[in-house]
Structure 1
Amino acid sequence: MTPSKSHFVALLLIIFLIVNVQSARIMDESSDCVFKGPCQKRSDCYERCGVKSRSLSVLCVPFGRQGLTCCCL
């Protein structure tokens, strides 16, 4: 009975990894962001994106291992 439980766990892990890789690929291909450089908070991106302050078309988002980056929509 132990081998069947370990097989089930291994199968779930494989499925999780496949779904995770595919979702990351989909997010990268359909991104509406124009990345404009590093940021610490959203307000850092207003000037980089060329918009007025408190605009909803600017985000400070995680960008892989590079830290946070401005996303101009």
Structure 2
Amino acid sequence: MPALVKRSETCPLCGTTFDAQGQGCRPSCPLAAGCKVMCCPSCGYSFPQETGLAGRLKALLDRRRAHP
């Protein structure tokens, strides 16, 4: 299973917010061991999880948008 950071994500396609834990795509993929790609549980869209500095910056901006 991919090593995903535990935090909520929002699908860029359908807008569903979900917990990133356990939402890795295709565990049978030979590259899944360090992959940061997630699948939306609602629509199945695959997208990369933003980690590191980009992920922290996105989380900060999301919090500021939610609590102006």
TM-score by length of 2: 0.25
Q: Which has the higher helix share?
A: 1
TM-score by length of 1: 0.24
